[in-house]
Structure 1
Amino acid sequence: MDGTLVDTEPYWMDVEYALVAEYGGSWSLEHALKLVGNDLLVSAEYLREHGSVDLPAPVIVERLLDGVIERINESVPWRPGAVELLAELGAAGVPCGLVTMSYERFVAPVLAALPEGTFRTIVTGDRVTVGKPHPEPYLRAAAELGVEPGECIAIEDSNTGAKSAEAAGCTVLVVPNHVPVLEGDRRVFVDTLAGLDVDGLGRLLLG
């Protein structure tokens, strides 16, 4: 979701900077980019260690979510072409799932801005025991969709997410955003989802 469906990474970074400043630590873009795609508890531990945020990791997660949800409620920053592609897939009867390390309460306002039924399953960070880059999130989503992971296309914008999807057995459509993503045998790259329809998606992956 973050970085592919919505570009909320700047929101997360703003909240991280504010939280670190509140506890007298120092933060940088380099630190912020290392958190892209991570399990939120992993990010919270990183903020404790490198940002001097003297709070328990679960509390840090809640503080981050509070700040980002506040911004999402003001404006949902859709990524180019993402909503249109989801509509095309839905009209074609292609089952879609949302796999994100964000928590359900953060996902809710984004889903509220989409047509009901856009996603047949939603796997959030608080529904899995191990987050990305572990394959569990994508394995759970495929199981709940009733398909094999090898039949799935995962759209990702980070190495962490791409590793998770690859380890589950998915083909990965990579749309780089804030962080560079490495090449891989199961990775296909595009600059944007804008203009990409169901047929184009099929050709891209078969080609």
Structure 2
Amino acid sequence: MDGTLVDTEPYWMTAERELVHEWGGTWTHEDGLQLVGQGLWSSALVFQSRGVKLTPQEIIDWLTDRVTVQIEEHVPWRPGARELLAEVREAGIPTALVTMSIRRMADQIAGFLDEELGRPAFDVVVAGDEVERPKPYPDAYLRAAELLGVEIADCVAIEDSEPGVAAAVASGATTFAVPFHVPLPESPAYTRLPNGLDGIRLDDLAASGALR
């Protein structure tokens, strides 16, 4: 979701900086990049180490509240993502949103997408507060395939971060990497799309052999 469908990373970084500053600390852009794709609960421990005297759940709620307010003001769609998703839905292919953001934020983005597409964008949503182990563990992807009633080997995953790509590859899904805020190296374990999803269509995914 974050970094593939929507460019919310700047929103997260703004919220992170405000939170740490509120507790008298300093938070840089480079600090924010270190958390891209990480689970919120592990990230919360980082903020505690920077002097934020809140519980992990309070930190997650504070950050999520701040990000959702920014999303309500403007949804920063990533180029090509909605077009590809619309084509996938038109073809009748089951879809799942797998994110480490918590459920209420995932539902917020999915709701905007439903309005954009004029139909449900996803059959299944698996959020960060619904799995025991976050990315880079494969749990969220395996859970999504289970809920869809499909084999994970028949799935395509699109990810933009190292933890996300690692989770998708570990799950057994055919993985496409779309580097954005953080670089992702070439690897035989996944297909790298250096220019993101802009101009990528269903036929491009099918050419990977994953869709059959």
- Do the structures match in fold with TM over 0.5? yes
1:71: how far off? Answer: 0.4
5 Å matches for 1:42-121? 42-49=42-49, 51-115=50-114, 116-121=119-124
> Which residue does 2:7 correspond to in 1?
7
Higher alpha-carbon deviation: 21-30 or 178-187? 178-187
* 8 Å Cα contact 2:6/2:75 also seen in 1: yes
- Give distance in 1, aligned partners of 2:32 and 2:84: 29
- Give distance in 2, aligned partners of 1:126 and 1:160: 16
Quick one: percent identity of the two aligned structures?
47
- Give distance in 1, aligned partners of 2:201 and 2:110: 21
- Give distance in 2, aligned partners of 1:21 and 1:48: 13
CA offsets 1:73-114 (integer angstroms, 9 cap, x no match): 111100000001000000011111000000111112211111
1:184: how far off? Answer: 2.7
* 8 Å Cα contact 2:106/2:125 also seen in 1: no
> Which residue does 1:189 correspond to in 2?
192
* 8 Å Cα contact 2:180/2:196 also seen in 1: no
* 8 Å Cα contact 2:68/2:105 also seen in 1: yes
Residue 206 (structure 2) aligned to one of 193, 202, 205? 202
1:17 lines up with 2:17 in the alignment: yes
SS at match of 2:85: helix
1:185: how far off? Answer: 2.5
1:164: how far off? Answer: 0.5
* 8 Å Cα contact 1:170/1:186 also seen in 2: no
> Which residue does 1:152 correspond to in 2?
155
- Give distance in 2, aligned partners of 1:75 and 1:108: 16
> Which residue does 1:125 correspond to in 2?
128
SS at match of 1:59: helix
1:179 lines up with 2:178 in the alignment: no
AA at the equivalent of 1:86: L
> Which residue does 1:33 correspond to in 2?
33
Structure 2 residue runs without a partner (length 5+)? none
* 8 Å Cα contact 1:98/1:119 also seen in 2: yes
- Equivalent residue pairs, number: 205
CA offsets 1:109-154 (integer angstroms, 9 cap, x no match): 2111112321111000111111111110000001111111111111
Higher alpha-carbon deviation: 176-185 or 129-138? 176-185
1:21: how far off? Answer: 0.4
SS at match of 1:6: coil
CA offsets 1:137-175 (integer angstroms, 9 cap, x no match): 000001111111111111000010011111111111011
1:206: how far off? Answer: 4.0
RMSD across aligned positions (CA): 1.3
